Every structure is written in C-alpha cells, then in structure tokens.
Amino acid sequence: MRKSIIFLFVFIGVLLVGCKDGQQETVSKNDNIEQNDVDQERAEKSTRPRDLSLEGRSIVIPSARYSSCWDESNCSIKPENPEEALPDERVFQANKFYTVNSAEVLTFITSATSAYKGELIAPDLIEVTQFYNDNKEKIEVSNNQLSAPSEKGTYYLNVHAKWEDQIKGEAYYAFKLFVK
C-alpha cells in the first residue's frame, strides 16, 4: 500500500514536470515598468462612467448598460426594448429596494468601482423613454432628475446618455421601476 502511494506521488510529479512547456518568457524589469505606466496613463485618461443609477429618497436603482461607444466620431448604437436588455430578471424582482413612490423625484448618478481611475463625468444629455404595458413615451429630464410615474405598476426605462463636452461617447441603459 505504501509503495502504491509513493508511486502515485512520483507519477504525478513526473506528469506535472513533463507537461511543462520548456520555453520560458523573460521580461525585463524595464518592460514591466513601461507597461504599467502605459496602463496607468490609459486608466487615468479614461473618464467614461462605469455605471448610471437612479437615486430616490431611500433607494438606489441599478441599471444595465447594454450598448455604448466612446471616442468615436460616428457612433451608431441603437436602442433596444429595456425589458429585453435587462440581463437577469431575478436581480430586478419587485422588492423594497427598487420600489418608488408615485411622482417621487429620481436623480441620475454616475458611479464606478474603487478600481476605476479618472474623473467621473456626468452625461451632458439624458433622454428617457418610458415603457408601460404596450405604450412608450418620452419623459422629461431636468438637471439629471425625473419624476417617477404617478400610476402604480411596473415600468421600464430606456435611457440614452450622451457625453459631448469633456469626453465623447454615448450609452444606453435599461432600468426597471416598481411604482407603488
């Protein structure tokens, strides 16, 4: 039994050493430093926001960014139905975290993870299309704020955000609201 265990360990060791690629990549310390400098510079120059959310009195409603383009002179992204753009319906189930009062004022907030480098710049223009049952309508946004619908129900928002000043880019976001 003991010989079998020793044989097994030797066999695994030979297998691991024998399968190792004989070529080793050598990277100089200067190459690593230069690459890190380039990565840091790229991260610092990247000013596009990672997330756009809606903030109410006591909640923050997440979005799903489903289409975007940055630093392009001719951006041709197209909107989708926000109900279909939301990635996982379970995340957006009706619960107290995503439920708002009728006519509650909601504010668009740009945010990013702690790993994000650079300045977070709010969109210069936000256009919102609201989907409710089989109807869709444009919703007025003023000072990055909108009012929740006054009628109870489940609403989907398609948000087109544009950055035209300090940075160039645009993105589409999908939201789901439960109005009580």
Q: Taking Cα atoms as reference points, which of 65, 104, 69 lies closest to residue 82?
A: 65
- Domain membership of residue 153 as a residue range: 50-179
48 falls in which pLDDT band (50, 70, 90)? low
62 falls in which pLDDT band (50, 70, 90)? confident
Q: What is the pTM of this model?
A: 0.68
- Whether the Cβ atoms of residue 156 and residue 89 lie closer than 8 Å to each other: no
**pLDDT tens digits along 102-157:** 999 999 998 877 766 777 788 899 999 999 998 999 999 999 999 999 999 999 99
Q: How far is CA 55 from the centre of its chain?
A: 16
- The answer, yes or no, to whether residue 86 has pLDDT greater than 80, is no
Asked if the structure places residue 5 within a domain, the reply is no
Number of domains in the chain: 1
Asked if the structure places residue 111 within a domain, the reply is yes
Instruction: Calculate the CA dihedral of residues 172, 176, 179, 180 and round it to 10 degrees.
Output: -160
